């Protein structure tokens, strides 16, 4: 019954939080529900509206087939390492490569769903970028955060090293890391300004 009252809300806001479920039910029925009941109801509602994890994964090949069919030039590459067990099913990471188009809007070029963000997954992902996106190009600039998996993977990929390309760190991440270490917002601002300085 609680899940059914959430269908419309979940359709509008897939990231609806449990605390709001409890507040909503209290406001509507003047009754306090437990955290566990709110969580179970929200989970049930999300699965009815969007499907389960298993049904989503089952539809992935069909989706990728449609993507390839209606977007000529799309490359789909699968790499299965082992069965995905229940206890790790929600720990997957989405890796995305983007660029800026002629209108300065973000354009996704490649994405991958991986078990975890590590050197192996980044090497596979960036290897596909080099093979399918940057193939034959020179002057490619890869901008990323300082994740160890990325920096290690780039060492084996000549497309992102001189003279064919370069690997730079995202200035926003550099500033954020600087502020995390030194806890000084004013110095963080100077670091950002220095990063944009072309002299």
Tens digit of each residue's pLDDT (9 = 90 or more) over 3-43: 998 999 999 998 899 999 999 999 989 999 999 999 999 99
Within-domain flag for 65? no
24 within 8 A of 9, measured Cβ to Cβ: yes
Write down the pLDDT at residue 87: 47
Count of domains for the chain:
2
What is the mean pLDDT for each group of 10 consecutive residues in the chain (199 residues)? Answer: 91 90 91 93 92 85 92 86 54 87 91 89 93 87 92 92 91 90 89 81
Residues 7 and 77 in one domain: no
Give the pair of three-digit tokens for residue 104.
């300065």
Write down the pLDDT at residue 82: 58
Residues 47 and 76 in one domain: no
Write down the pLDDT at residue 89: 55
Within-domain flag for 61? no
Residues 87 and 170 in one domain: yes
State if pTM tops 0.75: no
Find the domain containing 9 and state its range. 2-51
User: pLDDT tens for residues 167-182?
Assistant: 999 999 999 988 898 8
Within-domain flag for 139? yes
Beta strands, E only, 34-169: 93-100, 106-114, 140-144, 165-169
Residues 89 and 46 in one domain: no
Continuous H helices in 71-196:
119-128, 148-154, 171-182, 185-196
Within-domain flag for 148? yes
Write down the pLDDT at residue 81: 63
Q: Measured between alpha carbons, how far is 52 from 40 in angstroms, rounded to an integer?
A: 13
Within-domain flag for 58? no
Write down the pLDDT at residue 33: 93
Write down the pLDDT at residue 138: 87
Within-domain flag for 64? no
Q: Which residue has the tokens 């084996």?
A: 156
Residues 46 and 76 in one domain: no
Within-domain flag for 63? no
Give the pair of three-digit tokens for residue 184.
């000084």
Distances (CA, A) of 164 to 24, 135, 156, 157, 191: 56, 11, 13, 10, 28
């Amino acid at each position: 019954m609680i899940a059914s009252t959430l269908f419309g809300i979940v359709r509008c806001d897939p990231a609806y939080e449990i605390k709001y479920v409890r507040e909503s039910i209290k406001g509507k029925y003047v009754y306090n529900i437990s955290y566990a009941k709110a969580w179970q109801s929200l989970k049930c509602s999300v699965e009815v509206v969007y499907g389960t994890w298993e049904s989503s994964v089952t539809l992935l090949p069909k989706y990728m087939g449609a993507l390839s069919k209606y977007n000529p030039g799309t490359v789909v590459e699968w790499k299965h390492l082992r069965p995905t067990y229940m206890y790790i099913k929600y720990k997957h990471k989405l890796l995305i490569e983007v660029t800026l188009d002629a209108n300065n809007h973000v354009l996704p070029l490649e994405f991958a769903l991986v078990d975890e963000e590590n050197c192996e997954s980044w090497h596979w992902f960036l290897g596909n970028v080099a093979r399918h996106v940057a193939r034959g190009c020179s002057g490619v600039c890869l901008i990323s955060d300082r994740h160890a998996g990325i920096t290690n993977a780039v060492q084996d990929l000549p497309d992102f090293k001189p003279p064919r390309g370069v690997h730079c760190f995202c200035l926003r991440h550099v500033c954020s890391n600087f502020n995390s270490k030194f806890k000084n917002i004013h110095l963080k601002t100077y670091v950002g300004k220095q990063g944009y300085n072309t002299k």
